[in-house]
Structure 1
Amino acid sequence: MYVGIDVGTSMVKAAAFDGAGRALAVGSRPVGLALHEGFVEQDMEEVYAAVVAVLEEVTRQVPEPVELAGLTGQGDGVWLVDGQGRPVRAAASWMDGRAHELVHQWLADGTFETVFRRTGGAMFPGSPGPLLAWLDRHEPKALDAARAAVYCKDMVFQRLTGASRATTDVSDASMPFLDPRTRMYDNRVVELLGLTHRRGLLPPVSDPVATGGTRGEGLPAGTRIANGPYDLPASALGAGVTTPGDGLLIVGTCLAALVATTDLDLDGEPAGLYISTDRPGHRLRAMPAMVGTAALDWVLSTTGVRHEEVDDLLAATPPGAHGVRVLPYFAPSGERAPFVEPRLRAELTGVSLESTPADLIRATCEGIGYAARHCLEAAGLTGSLAVCGGGTRSGAWMRLLAEVLGRPLRVVEGEVGARGAVLAAAERYGVALDAAEWTRPTAVVEPDPGRAAYYAKGYQDHLARLQEARDRART
């Protein structure tokens, strides 16, 4: 039995797999988010307790020896811990918007672009650089009390293994301090963000990922476990996206577009990031947009529509949603990919008394699709495209998405991040698993040519309206 742990933003999951990659059991626990005036925080003790609970649930369901475990989780944010991995304060989430004025300042004075040209990472308010700089200005005592500013999975790994010090891996360290050429922290970037005196908080980078034995919480004592990569590259592994040019679209809370590459182009528009992987020279060009299914969730809640009604409503209104259009940038911290606009907000246009909930739902799904197309084009997609995440549960939305993107979709269902975490752990420990079998798609969705042509024109309209919205956000 192989166990993958995926510590998500709103849900912690663990999955047990057999040697052929078949899921034997899945456990999950929700975790809370505290939102207040742009602050988005999480209770680390609640998150860790959820990890232990789902591991106990899964191992009870499948009473087989655990060969090894792989750990992944949400990226970015700031998780301040003491020497034992315990919280100094609540974790600041990647969704947090408190540092948006700092990012806006760095956009204006050139710091933002300079950092991107050195690291390939476009900072956004919820990334560690801005959050640490904000905390240094407003909560210096919290930083004084901390031994390390880590990422979600790093806190969990230290607690599960009892490691004497916190570490991270090259994937999480990619934003915003890691030089992708040397795979080490760029001290000039630390200086540019005014954090040289906090340099000691950056955890050492384990390259390849750290391993250890568990101390008996959630998993049997001594179980071999590997720390990383974080959820985006882990999902790419779990979906079989390793060939340069191939891509993955994660339709989850965050709409993330990833393309495997061996290139490193730091001359384009500063946006997204290059995620380093365990294989030197191999990277993922990532365009992780701030809002994916969260935009649809907001519209469903506002209109009183249940998730199980979405497929029928998508069929109840034609492409174009009777003129209703949505720019789906609902996050309080604006957008981070494939451009950075901290003050950008969502727009809903073309609505009249004749508009129906079906029009609003379809327009939102179309808008998310256009945002995904923008991200994938910017990331350099040239090969096949896999798709995973909660959005894949809607067959109608997947057909719409294939038409908006104008290409077939390799749908990969199940716990893709946890699957990728196991594959990464197996590679680290030298355990032979058949990656092709583990990552086989569950379906392939082909686009309707006529609708794909219609949406190609709609995409150009989306780009024009987006540019107008970005211009307004800057004034």
Structure 2
Amino acid sequence: MPTVTGAEADTKSGPAAAAAGRKYIGIDAGTSMVKAAVFDARGRALATESRPVALSLQGGRAEQDMDEVFGAVTEVLAALAAGVPGPFELIGLTGQGDGVWLVDAEGRPVRSAISWMDGRANELVDAWQSSGVVESVFRRTGSAMFPGCPGPVLAWLDRHEPAALDAAEAAVYCKDMVFQRLTGIRATDVSDASMPFLDPRSRTYDDGVVEELGLGHRRGLLRGISDPIAVGELGPDTPLAGTRISGGPYDLAACALGAGVTAEGDGLLIIGTCLAALVSVRAVDLDGEPAGLHISTDRPGHWLRAMPAMVGTAALDWVLRTTGTPLAEVDGLLAATPPGSHGVRVLPYFASSGERAPFVEPRLRAELTGVSLETTPADLVRATCEGIGFAARHCLDAAGLTGSLAICGGGTRSGAWTRLFADVLGRPLRITEGEVGARGAVLAAAERYGVELDTAAWTEPTAVVEPDPARAEFYTKAYADHRERLAAARERARAS
């Protein structure tokens, strides 16, 4: 049964019941979990459902079963439909971005999906960096390629698995596969298409980039862009058949909407498997070090300067597994060790595909220094959390944060880590709890359908965490040390 919140109890009878009759569903097909929530007209979550989905990690490769992902979507929809009385006004859909999801004409898998976490194209990206292709593409599109984005993955498949590309009707993204199988409509949107083939100014594919990556003969695999986002109705064989649904944006842009990050200069930090930093901008900046991307949104003239780092909660999970520490003990361990972690330092770049933002370094790996026989699990945990905080600051600096900062994601469940982030970043954090991506997907769908919602109420922060001035000053100096150690590590990675 769905998890039902107290908000539903407030809307059982009288005038409030009529208002609560307008219900909205948001679906977020994430990397490790498919989540869905029912919201009332003021954005209060009435019920939530989730299903885990497996990610196969082996030898630097990361793949997912598309049928499992789609099955999880239909399961959460069916559970919500059974547990919450309708009717439902509309459904907003979002999902993980990047990677390659090869499908046939019916939206069914040709092979397993290749995740954004995949590293099989590392050497290809290395070669493109050396030859200047990565920089050339960035100067045209504002997006810096990394091993798990569609350009390198498609080029790798073209060289090593051409039969899979021959059999595919399209190379799509997660939400596009789900949307097609729910509605029969074949489309993607400008947010997912932003990496790496989209010209963010014209909002169309740059065929010169396709040719530069050696994929001109595969141009037909790029799904047509629906601008604005595609809409349709759930098919007859799906739960809630006939309900209106929209197909996008993808999860980073949806989270920005769900957290109310639309004003120029405001930012969002998502502490999830991937540490994503987003800043709302009104211009495309093609200067500087090629890194991150410019996500086009459903509003022409508005972009999200995105630095979606590979580092994130997965780094802390590795340290917890290695030290045999339960997740529930993190807050206590952070309290047990002072800022600076007794000299232990962690460069938290544990991903097998290196780092993609705010720089691209496929061969970069994690480093732990200052460890001795006196080092405790608390030191390692705090040093890792501090290292992730420094990576977040680096991303936000590179993205150009000048306004307020919202924060969401699984990492915010730790109050102590959230306070550490405030101290490391040296600024107040607007905490946005709950299914932020699903919330943003509903807001995008409502705008597309012309349904008026009180966006201020939907995106109101649940709390604001202020930094401690003394700790913030300490971490400003520690961040400078982090950048020096990172620069040296990047030199070693390039020489390896």
Q: What one-letter code is carried by the residue in structure 2 that aligns with 1:285?
A: R
Q: What one-letter code is carried by the residue in structure 1 that aligns with 2:392?
A: A
Question: How far is the alpha carbon of 1:267 from its aligned partner?
Answer: 1.3
Runs ≥4 in structure 1, deviation > 6 angstroms?
none
Q: Which of 223, 233, 252 is the matching residue for 1:203?
A: 223
Query: In structure 1, what is the Cα distance between the partners aligned to 2:121 and 2:481?
Result: 32
Equivalent runs, 1:102-251 vs 2, <5 Å: 102-163=124-185, 166-251=186-271
Question: How far is the alpha carbon of 1:221 from its aligned partner?
Answer: 1.4
Per-residue Cα deviation, 1:19-61 (whole angstroms, up to 9, x for no partner)? 0100011000000011111110000000000000011111212
**2:3 alignment counterpart:** none
**1:374 alignment counterpart:** 394
Query: In structure 1, what is the Cα distance between the partners aligned to 2:406 and 2:81?
Result: 30
Query: In structure 2, what is the Cα distance between the partners aligned to 1:40 and 1:167?
Result: 25
**2:73 alignment counterpart:** 51
**2:427 alignment counterpart:** 407
**1:463 alignment counterpart:** 483
Query: In structure 2, what is the Cα distance between the partners aligned to 1:159 and 1:399?
Result: 42
**2:283 alignment counterpart:** 263
Per-residue Cα deviation, 1:309-329 (whole angstroms, up to 9, x for no partner)? 000110001000000000000
Question: How far is the alpha carbon of 1:218 from its aligned partner?
Answer: 4.5
Q: Aligned in 2, Cα 1:246/1:213: closer, same or farther, shift over 3 Å? A: same
Q: Which runs of 5+ in 1 are unaligned?
A: none
SS state at 1:205 partner: coil
**2:112 alignment counterpart:** 90
Question: How far is the alpha carbon of 1:63 from its aligned partner?
Answer: 1.4
**1:252 alignment counterpart:** 272
Per-residue Cα deviation, 1:417-456 (whole angstroms, up to 9, x for no partner)? 0000000000000000000000000010000000000000
Query: In structure 2, what is the Cα distance between the partners aligned to 1:417 and 1:328?
Result: 25
SS state at 1:67 partner: strand
**1:18 alignment counterpart:** 40
**1:298 alignment counterpart:** 318
**Do 1:272 and 1:288's aligned partners in 2 also have CA atoms closer than 8 Å?**
yes
**Do 2:422 and 2:467's aligned partners in 1 also have CA atoms closer than 8 Å?**
yes
Q: What one-letter code is carried by the residue in structure 2 that aligns with 1:280?
A: P
Q: What one-letter code is carried by the residue in structure 1 that aligns with 2:257?
A: L
Query: In structure 1, what is the Cα distance between the partners aligned to 2:376 and 2:382?
Result: 10
**Do 2:81 and 2:240's aligned partners in 1 also have CA atoms closer than 8 Å?**
no
* TM-score (structure 2 length as normaliser): 0.95
Q: Which runs of 5+ in 2 are unaligned?
A: 1-22
**1:60 alignment counterpart:** 82
**2:24 alignment counterpart:** 2
SS state at 1:339 partner: coil
Question: How far is the alpha carbon of 1:219 from its aligned partner?
Answer: 3.1
Question: How far is the alpha carbon of 1:347 from its aligned partner?
Answer: 0.3
Equivalent runs, 1:277-426 vs 2, <5 Å: 277-426=297-446
SS state at 2:331 partner: helix
Query: In structure 2, what is the Cα distance between the partners aligned to 1:291 and 1:50?
Result: 26
Query: In structure 2, what is the Cα distance between the partners aligned to 1:126 and 1:224?
Result: 32
Q: What one-letter code is carried by the residue in structure 1 that aligns with 2:164?
A: A
**Do 1:388 and 1:416's aligned partners in 2 also have CA atoms closer than 8 Å?**
yes
Q: What one-letter code is carried by the residue in structure 2 that aligns with 1:154?
A: D
**1:72 alignment counterpart:** 94
